[in-house]
């Protein structure tokens, strides 16, 4: 009998589900294998009101149909959110996501300048109400340096608001890994793709648009630092796929959109990676245990049975090309048990 691996209540702590037609096309890919996900608010019109959060959650639930899956909703950070507003929202959201203005897809309404005084009112209210802050931490500097340049900003915020849980989203650098150790209230999500690729895979040979994302994949020494904490399921890191679907035409074009679609293969490839490094026993904490503790959530119960048997990844999912399209990977999802 082929080798099997059971994952209990896997969580994706950073996911783009989109809206409209794209939501219909891709939502089930995550809802099938994960029991829940932190859903990003960077829609074409960012999610900034209670009504928008509630309505978006409804649309997600409709799109996932019968699947047992909890969308953990987020709000798009604005520096004028006040305490009363956040109090009224607390029951409907799990976190607030802050984007520097213009740094990635649909982030033009984000924050420009990280002056503590300007952010004080909202961040203090979030801290008091225990609403975690997720940040896309990149400056608008040179593309390879953007995340490292943002680390001092993370540190300033972590020091100014010591009770606020700050999640450094999709970290890609050794500098971010090191910052985790310096501040009790800093945490991080790590994607599958940043554990697997470096800039060489994106642009070292022929250009690979399906591996283009923000933050861009970095240097081998950065990937090593990410692998080190992920493979031991360091208590401050969690899996967040940052699976970000774009239509094939928007990727295979001059002016390629940033984002890698990993939802359909994420757990299978994580199993392959953790096995390769002899760390399979840590995978459960990386994809579920740490997130439960950091976010204080009790996820829906779902058991994913992975089996070691070769599987050829589809060329596309409703016109969205996944990572490893047409390649053979080592694990398949054999069964998903609701319970």
| Catalytic positions | 242
- CA distance linking residue 212 with residue 232, whole number of Å: 27
Residues linked to residue 5 through DSSP beta bridges, in sequence order: 306
Q: Which string of x and - marks every residue 101-130 that binds ligand DOR (by CB under 6 A)?
A: ---xx-------------------------
SS3 192: coil
The residue whose two tokens read 């700050």 is 166
| Nearer residue to ligand DOR within complex by CB, 136 or 236 | 136
- CA distance linking residue 150 with residue 204, whole number of Å: 25
| Position 138 contacts Zn ion (CB under 5 A) | no
| Position 147 contacts Zn ion (CB under 5 A) | no
Q: Which of 136, 165, 223, 282 binds ligand DOR (CB under 6 A)?
A: 136
Q: How far is the CB of 44 from Zn ion (least distance, A)?
A: 15
Backbone φ and ψ for 293, nearest 5 degrees, come out as: -70, -45
| Position 218 contacts ligand DOR (CB under 6 A) | no
Q: How far is the CB of 215 from ligand DOR (least distance, A)?
A: 7
Q: Which of 100, 132, 240, 259 binds ligand DOR (CB under 6 A)?
A: 259
SS3 210: helix
* 3: DSSP letter: -
Backbone φ and ψ for 219, nearest 5 degrees, come out as: -85, 155
Q: How far is the CB of 169 from ligand DOR (least distance, A)?
A: 8
**What would the two tokens of residue 134 be?**
């997720």
Per CB under 5 A, the segment of 122-130, 173-181, 240-248, 324-332 that binds Zn ion is 240-248
| Position 222 contacts Zn ion (CB under 5 A) | no
* 289: DSSP letter: I
| Position 16 contacts ligand DOR (CB under 6 A) | yes
Q: Which of 147, 242, 285, 307 binds Zn ion (CB under 5 A)?
A: 242
- CA distance linking residue 173 with residue 189, whole number of Å: 12
Residue ranges in contact with Zn ion by CB under 5 A: 242
């Amino acid at each position: 009998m082929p080798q099997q691996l059971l994952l209990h209540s896997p969580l994706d702590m950073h996911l783009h589900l989109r809206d409209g037609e794209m939501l219909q096309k891709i939502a089930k890919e995550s809802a099938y294998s994960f029991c829940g996900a932190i859903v990003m608010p960077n829609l074409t019109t960012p999610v900034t009101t209670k009504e928008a959060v509630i309505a978006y959650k409804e649309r997600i639930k409709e799109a996932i149909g019968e699947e047992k899956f909890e969308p953990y909703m987020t709000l798009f950070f604005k520096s004028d959110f006040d305490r009363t507003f956040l109090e009224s929202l607390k029951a409907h959201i799990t976190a607030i996501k802050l984007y520097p203005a213009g740094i990635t897809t649909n982030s033009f309404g984000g924050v420009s300048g990280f002056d503590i005084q300007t952010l004080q009112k909202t961040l203090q209210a979030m801290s008091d109400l225990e609403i975690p802050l997720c940040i896309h931490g990149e400056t608008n500097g040179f593309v390879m340096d953007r995340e490292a340049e943002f680390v001092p900003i993370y540190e300033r915020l972590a020091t100014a608001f010591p009770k606020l849980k700050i999640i450094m989203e999709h970290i890609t650098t050794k500098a971010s890994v090191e910052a985790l150790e310096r501040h009790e209230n800093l945490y991080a999500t790590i994607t599958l793709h940043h554990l697997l690729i470096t800039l060489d895979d994106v642009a070292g040979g022929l250009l690979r648009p399906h591996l283009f994302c923000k933050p861009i994949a970095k240097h081998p020494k950065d990937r090593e630092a990410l692998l080190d904490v992920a493979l031991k399921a360091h208590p401050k890191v969690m899996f967040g796929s940052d699976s970000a679907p774009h239509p094939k035409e928007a990727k295979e074009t001059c002016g390629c959109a940033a984002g890698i679609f990993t939802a359909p293969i994420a757990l299978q490839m994580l199993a392959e990676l953790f096995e390769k490094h002899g760390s399979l026993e840590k995978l459960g904490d990386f994809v579920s245990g740490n997130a439960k503790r950091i976010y204080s959530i009790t996820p829906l119960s779902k058991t994913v049975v992975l089996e070691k048997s070769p599987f050829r990844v589809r060329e596309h999912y409703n016109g969205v090309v996944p990572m490893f399209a047409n390649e053979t990977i080592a694990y398949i999802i054999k069964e998903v048990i609701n319970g």
